[in-house]
């Protein structure tokens, strides 16, 4: 049959059109992409780059400072349109881009810098680049005629990401493009930290760089080939590359293999420093048509350690082999080897390779509620301050003008404690956003043009100690709630129309006859209060002394109780705050009517204080093994520590033989009850379990790092993790806690105490207690929430939970480790990381265990993975990726998962 030439031309036209449409669709599929042409005109509409199809838009609205420039014309032929313009920052030290992102999602972030002698000074700049409060990289343009790109894979911990350029010398920081690409959350996961690009090669002699639209994630792949040692394999057949990492078809369609069929394929690289940690991702696909008797099988090893004993690439399907833990190379020199096995007839092959170094970002961002509040205040009053960019509190050298923040050294998110907006030309009313700075201690709004009434919500900021509203145009009456707030220093002078109730404010004639009004704390009442308290304390002291002196002459039952408590050798509790009488305890518990539970300390009763507030009252049993020493330790600790994840002490009773601790009421009991099903209701899902252990870890981390001196709990277990009505977790039971009173002391020698199964074996063996003893106990707790198994079970192959999990891990059996009641409804990557974290906490050597700060960071990342799942089950254990775990035995052969 003869085909007419016109028909052939028509078919060709159809094919070309469909091909173009396909690439157009691909080019338009940029969901979540952020592509900023920095320095382009605010009026320029978004445009498509002709070489990539990427849509770029102006950076106007993403940054509030800087000036625009253009590289010199002589460089135009080298760069694409997006690289021609730039933004430079001659003013201020830190200038920042703020980008909206999806919290907990991995992003590929790329920043391009082309100097191009835009300022005609021939002076290549050098400056620092930050991600939020942490240093990412130093950008040095010296000798970089063709520019430089810095790339990182990073998971934002909040809904906004700040990329900041920081001036470090005389030259001005500058940037040409800033690009963000969301990645799948089952790829490029780390044990901790972010991934800083080292190299990304595909093994081909083509000489062609590959990026979008061929790579849907816009990664840039560079060709690499060693013709002296390798032969190139290629294919035109379609390769299934959907495995989470999704390397491009064109990348996987070529591979290198040794010229000699018996030779080893090897590849070497040098790390930035001998101590650098890194992650390696090896992408394989069999692209050669094998005959029936052909076999390709090889061993994968890194610096002589076997990573995979026998591996065969899948035919026309991509698999990725990677390490679940960061690796190191002795001296910083790395050697990757693929060695043919005796069963193989063909040499090994490699399609593509990515290597990233680990970069840790230890500084936590400022509390997000505070960030939202301070930025709302900034927007409300139109505040234009060059320093008000980036994170408000950290790093300290870039603290926003007028702010002070607490100093907790990376242990928890910084909070704003002081805000000074004096003489800032504020107009309008006092904005409601101020009340969202819930930890504020000092607020200075003096010498502005504020109008309206003094809002009552200021009294709701519980921590507020100083408010300066002087020199404004406020009117109305000062709210009673503010006047009655204890310990508050309020300055309202210079507001002529502001009315203060008679007797609480004193009017003074100031300069020029202007009336000034100051709130004066009623001194007479304060003095009277001191006299009454002093008399009461003296009366209690006399009565207590009288009771003590008569105790040996009292009834037999009283004498026995007094002896059982064994109080005489112990010094008295120093702080008398929140001390209650035994009669008050009887009243609040309605004569001990409702029992909540029983512990080693004694019975726990339900109580009511102030008519509405529910409390839990623990009464020391006369037969309890815990005596006055433990009671005293718990009271004195809880009187000086305050954290949202530690159970708060409402009060205590220390009256004769009657010892009681009054806690905040935790409506949902302890974690163990919920895990065992004793409280009924539905089983705790994986996300809820992670939230609970994150909050528990935060409380424990505060004891280790937020307390001065540091505290060791000594009895961390699931029954000491309590849950309130909102299932917020709080650590409880501090009777065994110990502190390190001497600065620099790393441990104390003490009699072993704790709960069997949770007890650190090193502490048990040496009697040396330090914070890593708590880390061990927390590791056991973590395994409990993962497995829902008892800590000790004699019917198991290995009775202790840590040993049992260790055995299961050597078999690669995650499904039988995980609680079957969850029915697989969890992110597998999140579970694996949690298991690995637990096992690292249970390392026999305390020195090799993580700190609680590291545990908190890692658990938050586990939670982010689970949150990103969106409530649907995902399974990372596909055959398309192979995770190499070298956590437990570097010589063992890992299993595919």
Token pair belonging to 761: 């074996």
SS3 830: helix
Return left, alpha or beta for 627; rule: phi > 0 is left, psi -120 to 50 is alpha, else beta.
Answer: beta
Q: How far is CA 772 from CA 324, 758, 762, in A?
A: 24, 12, 10
Whether the Cβ atoms of residue 754 and residue 732 lie closer than 8 Å to each other: no
SS3 220: coil
Q: How many CB atoms lie within 10 A of CB 35?
A: 21
d(CA 585, CA 605): 10
**How does strand 427-428 pair with strand 126-131?**
unpaired
Q: How far is CA 176 from CA 81, 162, 480, in A?
A: 10, 16, 56
> What phi and psi values does residue 468 have, to the nearest 5 degrees?
-115, 105
Whether the Cβ atoms of residue 446 and residue 516 lie closer than 8 Å to each other: no
Token pair belonging to 831: 């579970």
| 618 labelled binding-site residue | yes
DSSP for 83-95, please give it.
Answer: GTEEEE--SSSEE
d(CA 286, CA 255): 9
Q: Exposure pattern of 469-494 as b/e (b: 16+ CB <10 Å)?
A: bbbbebeeebbeebbebeebebbbbb
Nearest of 549, 529, 619 to residue 580 by alpha carbon: 619
d(CA 356, CA 245): 14
Which residues on adjacent β-strands are paired with residue 711? 739
d(CA 304, CA 808): 26
Whether the Cβ atoms of residue 227 and residue 191 lie closer than 8 Å to each other: no
Tracing tokens 């469909």 back to the chain, one arrives at 18
Q: In what order do the strands lie in the sheet with 94-100?
A: 94-100, 160-167, 126-131, 134-140
Which residues on adjacent β-strands are paired with residue 107? 154, 182
d(CA 761, CA 764): 5
Which residues on adjacent β-strands are paired with residue 294? none
Q: Is 827 a catalytic residue?
A: no
Q: How far is CA 794 from CA 336, 717, 719, 809, 841, in A?
A: 44, 19, 21, 19, 23
d(CA 719, CA 669): 9
C-alpha neighbours within 13 Å on the C-beta side of residue 810? 10
Whether the Cβ atoms of residue 256 and residue 288 lie closer than 8 Å to each other: no
- Could you tell me where the beta strands, DSSP code E, fall in 602-716? 603-609, 613-619, 649-655, 658-664, 711-712
**How does strand 134-140 pair with strand 148-154?**
unpaired
Q: Say which of 59, 215, 444, 715 is annotated catalytic.
A: 715
| DSSP character at residue 31 | T
d(CA 631, CA 353): 60
Whether the Cβ atoms of residue 581 and residue 673 lie closer than 8 Å to each other: no
SS3 365: coil
d(CA 694, CA 773): 18
Token pair belonging to 295: 């076999």
- Could you tell me where the beta strands, DSSP code E, fall in 119-159? 126-131, 134-140, 148-154
CA 782 to chain centre: 17
Q: Is the dihedral of CA 470, 472, 478, 482 positive or negative?
A: negative
> Binding-site residues, please?
618
Please state the residue numbers annotated as binding site for ATP.
618
Residues labelled as active-site residues: 715
């Amino acid at each position: 049959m003869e085909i007419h030439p016109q028909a052939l031309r028509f078919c060709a036209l159809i094919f070309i059109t469909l091909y173009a449409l396909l690439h157009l669709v691909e080019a338009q599929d940029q969901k979540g992409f952020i592509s900023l042409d920095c320095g382009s005109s605010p009026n320029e509409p978004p445009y498509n780059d002709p070489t990539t199809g990427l849509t770029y838009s102006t950076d106007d609205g993403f940054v509030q400072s800087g000036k625009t420039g253009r590289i010199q014309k002589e460089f135009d032929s080298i760069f694409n349109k997006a690289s021609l313009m730039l933004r430079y920052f001659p003013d201020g030290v830190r200038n920042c881009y703020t980008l909206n992102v999806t919290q907990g999602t991995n992003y590929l972030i790329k920043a391009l810098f082309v100097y191009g002698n835009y300022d005609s000074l021939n002076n290549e700049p050098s400056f620092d680049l930050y991600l939020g409060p942490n240093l990412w990289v130093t950008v040095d343009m010296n000798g970089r005629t063709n520019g430089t790109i810095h790339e990182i894979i990073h998971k934002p911990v909040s809904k906004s990401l700040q990329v900041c350029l920081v001036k470090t010398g005389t030259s001005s920081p500058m940037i040409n493009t800033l690009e963000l690409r969301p990645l799948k959350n089952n790829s490029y996961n780390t044990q901790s930290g972010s991934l800083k690009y080292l190299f990304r090669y595909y093994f081909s002699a083509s000489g062609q760089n590959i990026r979008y639209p061929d790579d849907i994630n816009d990664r840039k792949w560079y060709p690499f080939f060693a013709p002296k040692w390798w032969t190139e394999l290629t294919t035109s057949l379609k390769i299934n590359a959907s495995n989470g990492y999704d390397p491009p078809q064109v990348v996987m369609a070529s591979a290198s293999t040794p010229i000699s069929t018996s030779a080893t394929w090897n590849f070497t690289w040098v790390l930035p420093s001998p101590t650098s940690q890194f992650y390696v991702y090896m992408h394989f696909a069999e692209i050669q048509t094998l005959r029936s008797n052909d076999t390709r099988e090889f061993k994968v090893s890194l610096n002589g350690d076997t990573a995979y004993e026998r591996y065969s690439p899948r035919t026309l399907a991509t698999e990725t082999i990677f390490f679940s833990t960061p690796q190191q190379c002795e001296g910083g020199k790395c050697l990757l080897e693929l060695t043919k096995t005796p069963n193989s007839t063909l040499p090994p092959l490699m399609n593509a390779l990515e290597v990233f170094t680990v970069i840790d970002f230890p500084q936590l961002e400022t509390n997000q509620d505070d960030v939202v509040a301070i930025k709302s205040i900034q927007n409300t009053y139109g505040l234009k301050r060059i320093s008000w960019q980036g994170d408000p509190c950290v790093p300290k050298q870039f603290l926003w003008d007028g702010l002070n923040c607490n100093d907790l050294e990376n242990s928890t998110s910084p909070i704003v404690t002081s805000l000074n907006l004096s003489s800032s030309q504020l107009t309008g009313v006092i904005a409601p956003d101020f009340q969202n700075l819930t930890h504020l201690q000092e607020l200075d709004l003096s010498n502005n043009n504020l109008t309206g009434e003094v809002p009552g919500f200021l009294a709701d900021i519980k921590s507020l100690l100083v408010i300066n509203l002087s020199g404004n145009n406020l009117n109305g009456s000062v709210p009673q709630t503010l006047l009655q707030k204890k310990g508050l220093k309020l300055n309202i002078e210079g507001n002529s129309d502001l009315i203060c109730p008679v007797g609480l404010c004193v009017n003074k004639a100031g300069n020029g006859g202007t009336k000034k009004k100051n709130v004066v704390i009623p001194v007479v009442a304060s003095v009277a209060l001191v006299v009454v308290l002093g008399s009461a304390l003296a009366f209690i002291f006399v009565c207590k002394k009288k009771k003590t002196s008569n105790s040996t002459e009292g009834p037999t039952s009283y004498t026995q109780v007094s002896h059982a408590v064994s109080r005489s050798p112990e010094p008295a509790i120093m702080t008398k705050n929140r001390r209650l009488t035994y009669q008050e305890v009887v009243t609040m518990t309605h004569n001990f009517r409702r029992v909540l539970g029983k512990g080693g300390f004694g019975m726990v009763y339900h109580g009511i204080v102030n008519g509405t507030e529910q409390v839990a009252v623990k009464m020391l049993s006369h037969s309890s093994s815990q005596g006055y020493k433990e009671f005293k330790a718990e009271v004195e600790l809880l009187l000086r520590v305050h954290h949202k994840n530690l159970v708060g002490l409402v009060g205590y009773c220390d009256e004769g033989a009657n010892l009681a601790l009054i806690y905040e009421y935790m409506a949902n009991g302890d974690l163990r009850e919920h895990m065992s099903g004793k409280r009924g209701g539905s089983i705790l899902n994986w996300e809820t379990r992670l939230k609970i252990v994150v909050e528990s870890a935060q409380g424990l981390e505060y004891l280790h790092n937020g307390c001065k001196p540091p505290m060791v709990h000594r009895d961390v277990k699931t029954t000491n993790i309590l849950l309130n009505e909102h299932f917020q977790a709080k650590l409880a039971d501090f009777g065994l806690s110990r502190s390190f009173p001497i600065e620099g002391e790393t441990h104390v020698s003490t009699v072993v105490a704790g709960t069997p199964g949770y007890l650190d074996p090193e502490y048990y063996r040496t009697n040396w207690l330090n914070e890593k003893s708590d880390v061990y106990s927390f590791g056991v707790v973590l395994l409990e929430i993962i497995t829902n198994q008892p800590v000790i079970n004699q019917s198991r192959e290995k009775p202790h939970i840590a040993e049992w999990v260790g055995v299961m891990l050597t078999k690669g059996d995650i499904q039988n480790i995980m609680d079957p009641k969850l029915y697989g409804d969890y992110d597998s990557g999140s579970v694996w990381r949690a298991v690995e974290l637990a096992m690292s906490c249970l390392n026999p050597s305390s020195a090799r265990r993580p700190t609680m700060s590291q545990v908190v960071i890692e658990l938050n990342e586990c939670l982010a993975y689970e949150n990103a799942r969106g409530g649907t089950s995902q399974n990372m254990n596909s055959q398309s990726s192979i995770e190499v775990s070298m956590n437990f035995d570097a010589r063992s052969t890992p299993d595919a998962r």
